[in-house]
Structure 1
């Protein structure tokens, strides 16, 4: 009878977790937005969203249009229109034509079509399989590989690695919708991979990014340090506009065609680092000018605000004021994402006001109207719009108006989050890091378990963003601790550089410090119920922490972990990550015997920074999830940790999914979060059979019909 009682509670808890997941997943994520028309009496915005469809195990994409009056007050919004089959879309500058790249499954095979629409109907459709000019169009979000030629099916070809499998060589294709031709431009040197191409203002030349190709490709996903150039293709002439030892991205022209801007960074060890904002006066000079330079620590900008540099992955396709004098950009800053106005002439940077402390990211700019997405840990993404007035003394004051309101998070009135900055009293060059606590506002003393979450990368950051996993754990009664240890982005280039050669040491210390500070600051946390949860480098830190500080943690959940750096070095798509973060030199081949650099010394140093060294000290029950298609931290890493823990009689469970590094397929995502929740609830209980912890879920969702919905 006791077993049946526990089973009944388990099934009931499982049902409640699933209902929570379904309720939270009804909040769509905002992918993009575009101002499609501006008139004297108002403005029209078209937005693109993605939402999980749990019954179909897919993420559905849909568009929704919003009409606002001249004061940016909402007038009408359209019903959502499903656009799941659309891979890409682009509109002409006058918004009269729209091109859509669509993927369709015919006879079990994926085929791509380009459709040309005007404001009233479909004008033309091009079946790309009917043209021999190229394979599939690269969208940088697909995992479909190119169809090999007969006889070459088993020949290995280098590609760009994790989440860019099958991307070997790109060509630029010109689609002429008058002559109905798709013609490749053959003038790009074969040792470059063109991407992010745009027309020059006169429509006669092309500007883009050219990635340098070497015999061995290194992974590009999440890595902004790959050698690349801004190039100009003028007729048959290919010319690089930027110098060597740089990594460039996202070139954009101003509305008046007089300015070209882009982001660039120095090529160095960190796979993501602070970037410069660069500029060329088009048709006047070809010497690049630095608008905002690399920020090593922080600088003071307009209104005495602190600014820690740009870390953006992209620049919005339209990011200019109407007079082409101001730029609008967003970037991580400490624990938030903030948006800025940059004066191109004076180079003054001004933070855009956002009084509620949420994150704010620019999506589109047209005729001084700016569309943003706004979000926070407890607020799913919403669409907001503001009007830019360059005559104001404070150009960062835009008066933001909400176009959408997210669905309420169950029990959200009981949730809070708080950022904490910490500075060590040491002689080290970098002393500061930060963390964010997220959980219930009020709870009895020592009543709540704590979920400690270090981020991946390691050069990444938690930036006050909504995450369904963490929201579920918070609603189940956990406190969440998100840690931006030293080496995180958004805190200056020196902070990032500091972690090189110190992984498994400095980042571990910062995590332990954050836990101790949180235990002291938040009396509702039970110090005997501290758990770990992490992805990639975050999972690497979970392994380190559970070994180096075995008595501090009750249970562990990790996905796509890094366990043994020397063995990862031989398999990963970014082998240079391994020596870069352990303070070693990256070698493609064995050095000669006479070299001062000894390969064995490099391997030993990588091993010294690896969690596997501490496996014999782990006590906490550990759940591990890996992906069979993971090229970044291969599945063998997680299997190694699992087998070592089993050999040491540590309770362990391994999940193997047919997925890549992020384990983000819908069916994988929901399976993982449910199993992770059940795992943590089980092992924070006072005894393995004690259902006390499961009551946490009962208390949070006690009025199920009102809270979750039927």
Structure 2
């Protein structure tokens, strides 16, 4: 009986109320302090009726132990917002539907004073879409609070320094890759207004260096340091004029740039600025943040990683001291190679909060810290790092039962910060932390998940364990299962990357599977972040071998402990991207171990890279050198083929479900389709479900629900 048969679907898919209830819980994404006791918190939630993710905003007013919460406001047309340093103004980048424009949208820059709209400027003709993402975007007030800088798409026929060629409108410009379909040319725009003369019209200008860099460069992530000085990230194209995909990749050539703005009376559409490249192209710099006190810049901090090699590695934290104006590299925290099990493993973070600074004072001294969310072995933690000494303080409470993971959303620049935390048995909570002079933290709960009694009881019946795997240090696995040990059927869910992590964050799929009676194992195999740089490097050239063996050993060891069992109907697999790559290897290399598997946008054939935004990944992870001029030679393809799951397709015996996002720009959907047909030709039980508007993460509302139901239908069919 096929997975698609109505009779099978009816008998094997459970009531989807659990998934639906969990999937509509808010996911908290950003925060800002509007006052010391007033906090704005943004969230995203699934709307199953409209099949969209809705963005919401709530205001929290803290009065002692009481918290007053406003109703959620739907940010249906708000791309990005920011509060000014004085907390008096709120800037909003807004896009609305309007069929009178070429792309069907109009764009406005707004400045509000509390509930009063002070300025609304139509920027539709000035540029294309606003950027509101985590990698390219920014929205920053000048210290004088009469100017904003933000990132938007430069129009193909927009402002230029010189006369454009008639062919410029049609000239090929590479897109930015996964997550940025249709976007090609982000640029820094400055929006200025005259606060004293309200009749003066505000203006928006594109910023460009007077002297273009020798290497084609895109400028993003801009922040004000003074009224006439900004810092930005310059993303450098490779020699073949490609901007390699940036999402989840901290190994791209990107430098800190220092811009001097022209005078405010300059009315040109393009402001040509004196600009200096301050860091080296051998490093991938990101997230410039300026510590400003009383309108004066004190420090510029940023993170960086080596260019090339693994897509995620141990980061370094840098500081520029404005008082000395010395641009020699001051590293606050170095990369950590091989930490002791209980010691700080280094910074494994892709981003800094928009407002990361914490100021802690005593009667004798004051010390400035940066708050960072990072992976620390199998947990996500919030650490404070001193700008003066590099001292690292782990703010996470000791937690031996629930294993919460934490991340920081914002600070108030003083001793307060907003964090979000969750555990495999607990959906997201939002907390306000107040740090005392002796470095202790008082935590106040702002948000707890609103769960039905039955779901709360179900989650309370589960437990989380962190289990080290003997003789394979530092490999361990996060295990979620019933407290009474009643489940012997196990779903192994390896993370993607491979330089990612299965931290103890709440995961809706794992929770749904566990509540259906499965034990979930999330192995942190060699190459996982959070264990030191040595274990990142150790995997290069050994994918499909070392990581596969690590995952198999977790399966065997959990069986040895009696947590799970081996045998028909007992072992299942679920994962995507590199996790799907591992599953393809496991069911091909060890066909008798696993009873069914789900692969989501998996890497199936390492040699099939023509449409990928990260062609370097396939080379570097396989241990082959990658350069801009690299071509897929027969010799290279032969090695990559032998390291791929497709090489083991003849040995696959167990049923397979493939989930595919048709707009995946990272792993070509043709890889899954070719795998599907190869399995069909060999008379295997395989089903493929495709989502025409989804990308690599399969993060669409509909895709999530269908994947959960279809996966459970498959696993339940073969569970014994």
For residue 237 of structure 2, the aligned residue among 197, 210, 213 is 213
The structure with the largest helix share of the pair is 1
Q: Give the conservation status (yes or no) of the 8 Å contact 1:621–1:683.
A: no
Q: In the alignment, which residue of structure 2 is the partner of 1:372?
A: 419
Which ranges in structure 2 are unaligned for 5 or more consecutive residues?
A: 137-151, 158-165, 195-200, 262-272, 360-365
Call closer, same or farther: CA 1:590–1:331 in 2, change over 3 Å: closer
Deviations 1:452-493 (Å, cap 9, x if unpaired)?
Answer: 111111110011111111111111111111111000111111
For residue 30 of structure 1, the aligned residue among 28, 31, 51 is 28
Matches of residues 421-436 of structure 1 in structure 2 within 5 Å? Answer: 421-424=468-471, 431-436=473-478
Q: In the alignment, which residue of structure 2 is the partner of 1:679?
A: 714
How many residues get paired?
Answer: 650
Q: Distance in 2 between matches of 1:560 and 1:524?
A: 27
Deviations 1:478-509 (Å, cap 9, x if unpaired)?
Answer: 11111110001111111000000000000000
Q: Give the conservation status (yes or no) of the 8 Å contact 1:479–1:525.
A: no
Q: In the alignment, which residue of structure 2 is the partner of 1:11?
A: 10
Call closer, same or farther: CA 1:419–1:186 in 2, change over 3 Å: same
Call closer, same or farther: CA 1:653–1:170 in 2, change over 3 Å: same
Q: Give the conservation status (yes or no) of the 8 Å contact 2:490–2:564.
A: no
Call closer, same or farther: CA 1:640–1:212 in 2, change over 3 Å: same
Q: Distance in 2 between matches of 1:488 and 1:590?
A: 27
For residue 241 of structure 1, the aligned residue among 255, 278, 291 is 278
2:425 matched to 1:403?
no
Deviations 1:501-520 (Å, cap 9, x if unpaired)?
Answer: 00000000000000111112
Q: Distance in 2 between matches of 1:141 and 1:207?
A: 17
Matches of residues 444-459 of structure 1 in structure 2 within 5 Å? Answer: 444=486, 447-459=487-499
2:335 matched to 1:311?
no
Matches of residues 248-647 of structure 1 in structure 2 within 5 Å? Answer: 248-256=285-293, 257-284=297-324, 285-298=326-339, 305-322=342-359, 323=366, 325-356=368-399, 357-366=403-412, 367-389=414-436, 391-392=437-438, 395=439, 397-408=440-451, 409-410=455-456, 411-424=458-471, 431-444=473-486, 447-523=487-563, 525=565, 527-528=567-568, 529-567=570-608, 569-589=609-629, 599-647=633-681
Cα deviation for residue 286 of structure 1 reads 2.1
The answer to which of 572-581 and 496-505 deviates more is 572-581
Q: In the alignment, which residue of structure 2 is the partner of 1:198?
A: 223
**What secondary structure sits across from 1:553 in the alignment?**
coil
**What secondary structure sits across from 2:357 in the alignment?**
coil
Q: Give the conservation status (yes or no) of the 8 Å contact 2:616–2:626.
A: yes
Call closer, same or farther: CA 1:161–1:75 in 2, change over 3 Å: closer
Q: Give the conservation status (yes or no) of the 8 Å contact 1:164–1:221.
A: no
For residue 91 of structure 1, the aligned residue among 78, 83, 96 is 83
Cα deviation for residue 238 of structure 1 reads 0.9
For normalisation by structure 2, the TM-score amounts to 0.86
Deviations 1:327-352 (Å, cap 9, x if unpaired)?
Answer: 22120111110111222222211111
Q: Give the conservation status (yes or no) of the 8 Å contact 1:312–1:332.
A: yes
Q: In the alignment, which residue of structure 2 is the partner of 1:20?
A: 18
Q: Give the conservation status (yes or no) of the 8 Å contact 1:383–1:403.
A: yes
Cα deviation for residue 75 of structure 1 reads 3.5
2:210 matched to 1:182?
no
Q: In the alignment, which residue of structure 1 is the partner of 2:143?
A: none
Call closer, same or farther: CA 1:351–1:382 in 2, change over 3 Å: same
2:652 matched to 1:652?
no
Q: Distance in 2 between matches of 1:333 and 1:261?
A: 21
Q: Distance in 1 between matches of 2:368 and 2:340?
A: 22
Cα deviation for residue 525 of structure 1 reads 4.5
Cα deviation for residue 319 of structure 1 reads 1.6
Deviations 1:640-692 (Å, cap 9, x if unpaired)?
Answer: 1111111211100111211211111112221222112212212325xxxxxxx
Q: Distance in 2 between matches of 1:9 and 1:645?
A: 21
Deviations 1:548-586 (Å, cap 9, x if unpaired)?
Answer: 00000000111101111112x233111111110111111
Q: Give the conservation status (yes or no) of the 8 Å contact 1:145–1:165.
A: no
The answer to which of 135-144 and 210-219 deviates more is 135-144
Deviations 1:37-92 (Å, cap 9, x if unpaired)?
Answer: 12xxxx1221111111111111122212222235xx22322222222321110111
Which ranges in structure 1 are unaligned for 5 or more consecutive residues?
A: 426-430, 592-597, 686-710
For residue 105 of structure 2, the aligned residue among 105, 110, 113 is 110
Cα deviation for residue 142 of structure 1 reads 11
**What secondary structure sits across from 2:607 in the alignment?**
helix
Cα deviation for residue 171 of structure 1 reads 2.2
Q: Give the conservation status (yes or no) of the 8 Å contact 1:558–1:624.
A: yes
Call closer, same or farther: CA 1:486–1:55 in 2, change over 3 Å: same
CA RMSD, 1 decimal: 2.4
Q: Distance in 1 between matches of 2:397 and 2:94?
A: 37
Q: Distance in 1 between matches of 2:20 and 2:344?
A: 39
Cα deviation for residue 542 of structure 1 reads 0.7
Q: Distance in 1 between matches of 2:278 and 2:616?
A: 27
Q: Give the conservation status (yes or no) of the 8 Å contact 1:455–1:538.
A: yes
Q: Give the conservation status (yes or no) of the 8 Å contact 2:12–2:712.
A: no
Deviations 1:596-626 (Å, cap 9, x if unpaired)?
Answer: xx93322211112111111100001001111
Call closer, same or farther: CA 1:297–1:101 in 2, change over 3 Å: same
Q: Give the conservation status (yes or no) of the 8 Å contact 1:450–1:526.
A: no
Cα deviation for residue 299 of structure 1 reads 6.1
Cα deviation for residue 527 of structure 1 reads 4.0
Q: Distance in 2 between matches of 1:213 and 1:268?
A: 13
Deviations 1:106-157 (Å, cap 9, x if unpaired)?
Answer: 228233222221113112222222x3x3222223379999876698776532
Q: Distance in 2 between matches of 1:664 and 1:112?
A: 26
For normalisation by structure 1, the TM-score amounts to 0.87
Q: Give the conservation status (yes or no) of the 8 Å contact 1:17–1:472.
A: no
Cα deviation for residue 244 of structure 1 reads 3.0
**What secondary structure sits across from 1:52 in the alignment?**
strand
The answer to which of 187-196 and 377-386 deviates more is 187-196
**What secondary structure sits across from 2:475 in the alignment?**
strand
**What secondary structure sits across from 1:424 in the alignment?**
coil
